[in-house]
Chain A
Amino acid sequence: MAEKILMKGNEAIGEAAIVAGCRRYFGYPITPQTELTEYMAKRMPQVGGVFLQAESEVAAINMVYGAAGTGVRVMTSSSSPGISLKQEGISYIAGAELPCVIVNIMRGGPGLGGIQPGQADYFQATKGGGHGDYRNIVLAPNSVQEIVDMTIQAFDLADQYRNPVMLLGDGALGQMMEPVEFKATDTVPSIKAWAANGMRGRTQPNIINSLHLQPEKLEQHNIHLQQKYAAIQKNETRWEELYTEDADLILVAYGITSRIARSAMEKARSESYKVGLIRPQTLWPFPAAPFAKYAKTAKAFLAVELSAGQMVEDVRLAVNGVRPVAFYGRTGGMIPSPKAVYEQIVKTLKERGGN
């Protein structure tokens, strides 16, 4: 499929998963990601796959645990309140080191919140979310094409590191229609010698498990996980930067917000403000390196989010007090206009730009 077709973000995730070889999907309807669940209901039978509408998000993530443990590529998807319900299962999946892809098309919270776009699940996605010391790999696309590319990449990363990968989008990306191209993947499916898919001639049973009752063994397991996470940080951190080299002010935004920030940046550039943009494409591992670098040249940073300020904490950690880090966010499903972000740029430069 080389030609471009027009697709909605949510549906593009589904098709990309199928292109990536995912043939198992377990989910539960929730706005604003339901089109993905519906797409999988339609497509999975056409490709000989399994679609199952679970009784709850709790059940769906545990079905993912079962499927992933047998070695197949598997995905689930939900939106913020449903992702909260999945946290128990995600912790077990991380503990048992199972590869899977979890899609969160975020909406505003807390609680039932609303059904309009949000980015207030950043902490939950990147800092663990469930109990215990673990990390999800978190990918943050900002276009439908990137949704496709990152969904395919998510399955490869999950298999490579035996780790859950979360595709973190928002209601706006999920509903957005853009032309996309599905590039054939050249990934060779991993051999999963650890999978518990029936012994089938093996002499020793395989066990999928996150329980280690002896403290020495549990600590060793945690050390192993941390070493894996360090390798992921080293190898898989991704970001995009624009006009950063000469920037006095660097905007930081991911997902849908990065598109608004980019428009605001372009307006500011046309007004001769030296503004750049860093767009984390992996939220965990967070791209700390460019911040350390530009903290030496830029005068300030401005994080823009659809939250009360979550990613900004990682920006501050990365900048490490060398430069001021300002924040501008809207919540509740409100989306800032490029003009509003532009005004924040001017204000931040005036207050913290040093001129």
Chain B
Amino acid sequence: MPKPVFNEERCKGCELCTAVCPKKIVVIANRFNSKGYKPATCSDDAKCIGCALCAKACPDVVIEIHK
């Protein structure tokens, strides 16, 4: 099962990843990282199809897709 893995500390909460996810499972978490940004996260790993669009849209290379 593919799974997006977020390096939350590097996330700046820009939301670009949330707009490209075909399954709409990449969302902004309701918490802050140590830089004060609300980081992106996956609301439902089970629905991930491993398309990596979120990772490709991320300007901060926050997201890896694990198999």
Q: Report A-B touching, CB under 8 Å.
A: no
Binding site for A on B (CB under 8 A): none
Binding site for B on A (CB under 8 A): none
